[in-house]
Amino acid sequence: MPVSFSRNTAELEELIGYRFRDEGLLAEAITHTSFQYENSGTQSAHNERLEFLGDSVLGLVIAETLFTRNRRLSEAGMSRIKSYLVNKSVLYDMATGLSLGKFIRLGRGEDTTGGRQKRSILSDALEAIFGAVFLDSDYETAREVILKLYAHRISDAMDNKRGYDFKSELQERSQALFGTLPDYRIVKQEGEEHRKIFTAEVYVGEKRLGIGSGKSKKEAQMQAAGEALDEISSG
């Protein structure tokens, strides 16, 4: 179902838990380049610069939170979890939960081709909003807004719960870095039929990057993927 456009930015402010002093910053944060291109005479700014700033603010907030919440996390572990938490999939999921698509100002062409539901547009707009909050207030306020929106996601990722998908992240990074998909192999099965323990290895190309075990093949593969991500981050 297409998302309808709303000019009610007060509703958006309510959703993110922050009231802007400079409404122009919020307007800039939700303005896509396609809108600016079609309305260059009336709208001078789009959200790419704010998205750049917001990405850095978000990264610092997540890094600081990981560093202070668990002193036992290694640099590689923090890097892996941070990479997951700031990726486009997580941002898109949060933006969808905020119904952000209906507030974004798009050009007609982008709007008619489903721009209000596009992953890149929504995730970039949310980062731009983080940048706008930072400029409109300060780091501590931006931090509060970000942590409220992230809610349980950080804890879930740190505890290796379902919110952290090691396999998906490894697939993305393997394709980006090596141009190939990871290959999972179940190398061992131990125990009785209803109490088996599986051991999995994951290879990228000919190199084994991780090994893991669990009560199911999926759990073993997820553990192996997590170890592989640590190997990539520390390599």
- Would you please indicate which residues are annotated as catalytic (active-site) residues? 55, 127
* CA angle at 144 for the pair 90 and 92, rounded to the nearest 5°: 15
What order do you get walking across the sheet with 197-204 strand by strand?
183-190, 197-204, 207-214
* CA angle at 230 for the pair 225 and 231, rounded to the nearest 5°: 95
Distance CA 226, CA 166 (A): 5
Instruction: State the DSSP code for 47.
Output: S
Q: Read off the amino acid at residue 2.
A: P
Distance CA 201, CA 223 (A): 9
Q: What is the DSSP string of 181-231?
A: --EEEEEEEES-GGG-EEEEEEEETTEEEEEEEESSHHHHHHHHHHHHHHH
Distance CA 89, CA 168 (A): 10
Q: Which residues pair with 199 in a beta bridge?
A: 188, 213
